[in-house]
Amino acid sequence: MENVDVELGGKVDVQNTVQSLLHCVQNVDVELRGEVYVTINKCRPSIYMAPSIFRDLRPNSFDPRVVSIGPLHREDKNVKAFEGQKACYIHNLLKRVKNSPREKTLEACVQKVAVSIKQIKGCYAGIKAYDDTEFAKMMVMDACFILEFFYMLCWYTESDEAKLKMLLAPSIFYDLVLLENQIPFFVLKDIFLCTIKQFEPDLSLIEFIIPVLKFLNLFEVSIKIRNIRNNIYSTTHILDLLHQCYHPRFYTLSYFPSSTLHSAVELDRAGVNFKPNRDAKWPLAMELELSRFWCFTWSLGKPTIRMPVLRVHHFTELVLRNIIAYEQSYLGDNYVTSYARAMDMLIDTQEDVAKLVESKVLVNDMGSNEEAANMLNSICKEVAWLHIGHDEHWKKLDTYCNGYWPKNIARLRRTYFSNPWSIIALIAGMVLFALTVIQTFFTIKPPGNRN
């Protein structure tokens, strides 16, 4: 088996890399005999440390909790303990490839990585000088771990007991979406072809990873293969793939108002409704519905803001912060940043959260409305916003909310038409008032008095 020459004079010792990986797997074989294993192109870098302006606000949103992927967090003490577990995952993955000896499978994986070692290193910013052989071993080990982890939880149905014992699974899933904890997607694709594809020949990489994206999805909108199929080969990593799920199907000039939005409670007091928007063309679509004669909406009907249904849980902040950091420092679009800022403006207090929950445009699994409000209010702190368009609808909403009639009509509706008893009391009061007027009239002018 020959070494593979790489550009820039680098050299990957394929034989030593394979033997080193085999040694890890063989150690797992020895352990398994005594006990049953229980798992709990030249371009700017796309994998890097989050800018300090974001990282310093919430370091825990960018640091892996359980597992390190790639070189950026390799030396972190809190993930060192899990490094040995990766050998167990690669052992299980190689066992599934029954049509090839595991040494041959590993050789194919290492060869794939070796010929792209320069390109792979170019995907990372600010890494120490790794030996090519050491770096290739890291890439193969991490890619095999990710694929086996996804396969075991999303596709392998014969080991339900093992799934139940994977208490760390949620934390691992969210470790794999961190900006600083990524592996180039083309590496994942190459190792997928060398391993999973060998025993699941009808399974494509997109189909394989869709259940993962559904797990990570923050919105109550389905993620479909056709939404990401066209971009799969330009994907940089798993976080980028999740971000692509929130792209509009067609480019949009405007999404976010240039002026400040009123809070959810203020809008409600002005008579504005909130309703879920499950737009198949754009999961993050936020639209304003006004009557044709919007200046007289107070008399003809309520304006409605249709918006995506956000699920707020303890990992929502982590996902949003990493996508926003990726948008702000690498990409040219601001789709998720725009949505997060709109939510920041709509939510000032826990009463605003309660209103959005009541309107079914927000699902709060954090338990506390105040906690959810504080989290959503802090997401866009220090985030730069470059407005890319102008939306007349938002100006009309602002004009509507600042008008005299909408606020007063809305107050009248809340006071007298909010429930059946209020309506009955209003009608009874009006009838009583009418009877009082009639009685007063006939008291002053009796029917027999013609003068």
Distance between CA atoms of residues 4 and 13, nearest Å: 7
Q: What is the pLDDT along the chain (451 residues), one digit of tens a residue?
A: 445 444 334 566 777 777 777 777 666 554 444 443 333 344 578 999 999 999 999 999 999 999 999 999 999 999 998 998 999 999 999 999 998 899 999 999 999 999 999 999 999 998 888 889 999 999 999 999 999 999 988 877 655 545 544 666 889 999 999 999 999 999 999 999 999 999 999 999 988 999 999 999 999 887 776 667 666 778 999 999 999 888 887 655 445 555 567 899 988 888 889 999 876 678 888 888 876 554 454 445 678 888 999 999 999 999 999 999 999 887 667 889 888 988 998 999 999 999 999 999 999 999 899 999 999 999 988 787 655 433 556 677 777 777 655 566 666 666 655 667 766 776 777 788 888 878 787 777 776 665 5
Residue 114: per-residue pLDDT: 94
Residue 443: per-residue pLDDT: 79
Residue 252: per-residue pLDDT: 56
Residue 10: per-residue pLDDT: 55
Residue 418: per-residue pLDDT: 61
Residue 57: per-residue pLDDT: 92
Which residues is 306 bridged to in the sheet?
Answer: 275, 287
Q: Give the pTM.
A: 0.81
Parse the chain into domains and list their residue ranges: 4-244, 264-314+326-409, 419-451
According to the 3-state scheme, what is the secondary structure of the chain? CCCEECHHHCEECHHHHHHHHHHHHHHHHHHHHHCCCCCCCCCCCCECCCCHHHHCCCHHHCCCCCCCCCCCCCCCHHHHHHHCHHHHHHHHHHHHCCCCCHHHHHHHHHHHHHCCHHHHHHCECCCCCCCHHHHHHHHHHHHHHHHHHHHHHHCCCCCHHHHHCCCCHHHHHHHCCCCCCCCCHHHHHHHHHHCHHHHCCCCCHHHHHHHHHHHHCCECCCCCHHHHHHHHHHCCCHHHHHHHCCCCCCCCCCCCCCCCCCCHHHHHHCCCEEEECCCCCCCCCCEEECCCCHHHHHHHCCCEEEECCEEECCCHHHHHHHHHHHHHHCCCCCHHHHHHHHHHHHCCCHHHHHHHHHCCCEEECCCCHHHHHHHHHHCCCCCCCCCCCCCHHHHHHHHHHCCHHHHHHHHHHHHHCCCHHHHHHHHHHHHHHHHHHHHHHHHHCCCCCCC
Distance between CA atoms of residues 57 and 403, nearest Å: 39
Residue 219: per-residue pLDDT: 93
